[in-house]
Structure 1
Amino acid sequence: MGISVDTFFLELNGQGTLQAQIQQMIAEGILSGRFHVGEKLPSSRKLASHLGVSRITVTLAYTELLANDYLTARGRSGYYVSENAPVPPKYTPIQRGTETVDWDKALARRFVDSDVLPKPWNWRDYTYPFIYGQADRTLFDHANWRLCAVRALGHKDFESLTRDYVDQDDPLLIEFIARHTLPRRGISARPEEILITLGAQNALWLASRILLTHNHTAVIEDPCYYALRSLLNHWDCAVVPIGVDKDGLPPEALPDETDVIFTTPSHQSPTTATMPITRRRQLLDRARDLDAMVVEDDYEFEMAFLGAPSPALKSMDRDGRVIYVGSFSKSLFPGLRLGYMVGSEPFIREARALRSLVLRHPPGHIQRTAAYFLSLGHYDAQIRRMSKELSKRRDAMDKAIDEYGLSVAGRGVMGGSSMWMSAPEHVDMSQLARSLQIQSVHIEPGAPFFAGPDRPQNFYRLGYSSIAPDRIAPGVKLIADAIQTQ
């Protein structure tokens, strides 16, 4: 079997001569186990053309690898991975004694039973991946992100790469968020009122640790982001789920003992409901009457391709009681783990101190790379590209859902990247999701989003940010057929 020429590429800033780089590239492929004994290498002419180098450069690299027993030559047939090629030594772990720790006694807290929606590591191999919150490689501007990362590694940015910020953040990133990102949400904030976090989850953790104690009451939406509910359930505070309606969280349902309100007014998670301006004012009035704090998770506001997003709840806050949480995970890529929170200076001061006790600060190189990507206009260009494509996929979703008779429980009026769906009450979507995987269909069951033991099992979420438009209709048909057989 031959090794595809497409598996070979030269690094943009590779070290050493071209011949040395090619030798290293092939040797690493053999040592890592990617290239197997007996596999044929591409011809020197083909590899040279693919890499954009001279044929003699490839031939000299092959000859050197031949001399070192990495390769073997077979007449006029070409070069193959040698049977005598060096292999990495096998690791044999040291035998340990039997553990004697009683972990039932030693573990003071348990976290493994928390709700979670598993995302298959190989979801890209699914034919119909209706997965939420994952990056689409066809839409991400990888070239410019790489250039920004290389720039952030330069001598000029040596301090931002290597210094210990202690409890501070990259001033360029803070400046961009203050001058460009927040004004789009109607928010005005000074640098002292902004903190960079490791995504929205880290921001929610910081807020809950600072605002809640054992005698406090936290209100959450039901359904809501399952990780938030799990996080709060591990504190000693009381957690009160409040059912949402078509306009989000109803302020009149807040109990009198409420201390902190967690809400997603612009794009309710997971129902995608948008809270009207009138209700937002009512929520702030109710919070003022209760002397309660409000934590606003403003995720996915950039994906408002059907209309301008409503102003953030924070923009209407005159008391300083709203803590605003934003993230770049949905608009860039979730693996970035970069978000931010905005609040009054006394709160951010405490959040900064708490963060420094746990992780000090997000990596400086990541912050500076993001700052360049944002400030050079690449971020806005990517948002425009994503919005255009998501609009196309949303249209395909609407048509397919109507054609095959599925029921929509919530579709974002401004846009977004998912739809909240419902099946007949007798259908267990967790079980159905597992059976659909056999047909290479991935959907997300909705039960983990709900609180309490008697969770409805018939809801599910369909994300469309990572599925090609031409696969949406066939995938929706498979889902509809599966539901009809229940």
Structure 2
Amino acid sequence: MIEHYFHLDFRHERGLQEQLRESLVHAILHGIFPPDEPLPSCRQLSQQLAVSRNTVALVYESLLEKGYLQSRPRSGYYLHPDYRRGAAPEPAREAAMPRPGAHAGGHEPSWSKRLQRQPSLRQGVLRPSNWRQYDYPFVYGQADPGTFPLQAWRRASRELLRAGRDTTWLGDAMDQDDPELIEQLRTRVLPKRGIRAAPGEILVTLGSQNALSLLAMLLMGPGVRVGIESPGFRDAWNIFGMQEADVSLHGVDEEGIVIDERLARCDYVYAMPSHQVPTGVTMSAARRTRLWSQVHRHDQVLIEDDYDADLDLSNHPPPALKADDAHGRVIYLSSLSKCLAPGLRLGYLVADEELVRELRALRRLMYRHPPLNNQRMLAIFLAQGDYDAHLRRFRDAQARKRDVLGRAIDRHLGACGYADGAGAAAFWLNAPAGVNTQKLAWAASRRSVMIEPGFRHFFEDAPQDQHFRLGFQAIAEDRIEPGVALLAEVMERI
């Protein structure tokens, strides 16, 4: 009987029909149902799962229309013959039957000998996949799902799919981006950062990290020197290193990246002047002037990562360095999804048109363009003013969280110093002498408190282990204070 091997735990946040349909399709594709027996009747399955008969009937009818089932008069619903043939074989039979193309003495290839590069050996700033289950997730770069503007996003989706609307996004655009999104970037987004750009100077990417990968593949290789901040963005170090570039490490102080003779010998300088990762420091006006002077004097190109341009919580953020770029010496990167939905993975790049043309050609060889439906829907979302409205609400909420976290740190973690980082979306702290933050993070996780130890942001052979980061985007405001208090308790005991 079917009840022996079909079970469903309904989740309240999803529709009953959707979940039942998904589970039945899964069962069909995995050979769960006997091929020559009828499926349970609507009455039987509705009783077993405690749902209405109408719900089951509608799901069966939809599977009939999609070709998974066939109906026999006065007999019921059966598997379609295509799926009776395609049922998964039992494991024992599968193991006994040789695969097509198998040969005596054959063996699998040795991939370790074939790999020209091994990205898995390069450390990243990782977090447990179950971080959302922590009571106090002080993680950085992740948003609270409750802040997503679901209703406004649905309106943009309905407008995208409205009959009679332009449907060019359904096609393959080869190497082109959605012109509506480019126009919104050019006229609505970039001017906020003081940047003026022509359409040919803008490239849509799958986020800032994707932009870095494209740039590294096109511009970097053996003999090319790129200066980066340390502590800094770990995956920038990884990406440049994968292209065998000569990566030069440069310290960060309260004014931003330290400028010295070593930096002058670089071909490229990668920096985050608005909010440096991980310290949150904003580059001072004096340091910006010195950096500009060096870039021009030594024929350098600056890669400006303005990853959180829309997330700045300060009242008067400085303009992007790109805003003062009269000679095309700045490649500007930013994200469109950081404070909307990090999983959306949409960003953009602004640079000289000649460079963008080559980047576009390289992107075409990799994935042509980011999905046009996402590009167009974001363009609609921007054009209708919903993005700006979301930003206002989002910044207000994040500013409150930042204030709460700052006060909690002062109250419970007074022995920890931290960078000012005004307007940044996290606090970068120094633990007291003798506290190893890797051990602290492990001990805190045992109490359902997640923090991010800072050692992986240092690229030297002996990274520092007294730093850690507390983000506040993903944690509820009322959990910040008790979470910091619990962290302080853990710190006292290790």
TM-score strictly above 0.5: yes
Point out where structure 1 has 5 or more consecutive residues left out of the alignment: 11-21, 44-57, 68-83
Task: Provide, for residues 318-375 of structure 1, a one-character-per-residue CA deviation record: whole Å limited to 9, x for no partner.
Answer: 2210000010131211111100000111111111111111111001101001111111
Distance 1:247 1:66, change over 3 A: closer
Task: Provide, for residues 244-280 of structure 1, a one-character-per-residue CA deviation record: whole Å limited to 9, x for no partner.
Answer: 1011112235434210000000110110000012211
Structure 1 residue aligned with 2:12, among 3, 6, 11?
6
Equivalent position SS for 2:257: coil
Q: Which amino acid aligns with 2:312?
A: A
TM-score, length-normalised on structure 1?
0.84
Q: Is the 8 A contact 2:275 2:308 kept in 1?
A: yes
Q: Does 1:426 align with 2:434?
A: yes
- Percent of pairs identical after alignment? 36
Shift of 1:156: 3.9
Distance 1:32 1:143, change over 3 A: farther
Equivalent position SS for 1:372: helix
Equivalent position SS for 1:241: strand
Structure 2 residue aligned with 1:187, among 168, 189, 195?
195
Q: Does 1:410 align with 2:419?
A: yes
Q: Does 1:297 align with 2:284?
A: no
Distance 1:142 1:454, change over 3 A: same
Distance 1:171 1:156, change over 3 A: farther
Distance 1:7 1:214, change over 3 A: closer
Q: Is the 8 A contact 1:301 1:309 kept in 2?
A: no
Q: Is the 8 A contact 1:284 1:317 kept in 2?
A: no
Distance 1:8 1:133, change over 3 A: closer
Q: 2:337 — aligned with what?
A: 329
Equivalent position SS for 2:403: helix
Q: Is the 8 A contact 1:126 1:440 kept in 2?
A: yes
Q: 2:277 — aligned with what?
A: 269
Structure 2: how far apart are the matches of 1:129 and 1:85?
48
Q: 1:119 — aligned with what?
A: 127
Structure 1 residue aligned with 2:348, among 334, 340, 345?
340
Task: Provide, for residues 398-432 of structure 1, a one-character-per-residue CA deviation record: whole Å limited to 9, x for no partner.
Answer: 1110111242422421x132111111243222232
Shift of 1:29: 4.4
Structure 2: how far apart are the matches of 1:446 and 1:39?
54
Distance 1:168 1:2, change over 3 A: closer
Shift of 1:298: 0.5
Structure 2 residue aligned with 1:103, among 98, 111, 115?
111
Structure 2 residue aligned with 1:455, among 460, 463, 467?
463
Q: 2:375 — aligned with what?
A: 367
Structure 1: how far apart are the matches of 2:218 and 2:55?
60
Equivalent position SS for 1:208: helix
Structure 1: how far apart are the matches of 2:133 and 2:261?
44
Mapping of residues 112-151 of structure 1, within 5 Å: 112-151=120-159
Q: Which amino acid aligns with 1:100?
A: E
Mapping of residues 49-88 of structure 1, within 5 Å: 58=52, 60-61=54-55
Q: Which amino acid aligns with 2:370?
A: P
Q: Is the 8 A contact 2:137 2:449 kept in 1?
A: yes
Name the stretch that deviates more: 91-100 or 229-238: 91-100
Structure 2: how far apart are the matches of 1:428 and 1:474?
22
Q: Is the 8 A contact 1:218 1:260 kept in 2?
A: yes
Distance 1:354 1:60, change over 3 A: closer
Q: Is the 8 A contact 2:269 2:303 kept in 1?
A: yes
Q: Does 1:237 align with 2:245?
A: yes
Mapping of residues 252-291 of structure 1, within 5 Å: 252-291=260-299
Q: Is the 8 A contact 1:3 1:39 kept in 2?
A: no
Name the stretch that deviates more: 432-441 or 185-194: 432-441
Structure 2 residue aligned with 1:349, among 344, 349, 357?
357
Equivalent position SS for 1:112: helix
Mapping of residues 165-204 of structure 1, within 5 Å: 165-204=173-212
Shift of 1:235: 1.5
Aligned-residue CA RMSD (Å): 2.9
> How many residues matched?
441
Distance 1:256 1:388, change over 3 A: closer
Task: Provide, for residues 267-319 of structure 1, a one-character-per-residue CA deviation record: whole Å limited to 9, x for no partner.
Answer: 10110000012211210110111101000000212222331211101111222
Distance 1:359 1:399, change over 3 A: same
Structure 2: how far apart are the matches of 1:213 and 1:61?
60
Structure 2 residue aligned with 1:380, among 368, 376, 388?
388
Q: Which amino acid aligns with 1:285?
A: S
Shift of 1:135: 2.1
Q: Is the 8 A contact 2:270 2:302 kept in 1?
A: yes
TM-score, length-normalised on structure 2?
0.82
Q: Is the 8 A contact 1:130 1:442 kept in 2?
A: yes
Q: Is the 8 A contact 2:274 2:318 kept in 1?
A: yes
Q: Is the 8 A contact 1:193 1:342 kept in 2?
A: yes
Distance 1:2 1:261, change over 3 A: closer
Q: Which amino acid aligns with 2:449?
A: V
Q: Is the 8 A contact 2:10 2:19 kept in 1?
A: no
Q: Does 1:227 align with 2:223?
A: no
Q: Is the 8 A contact 1:194 1:343 kept in 2?
A: yes
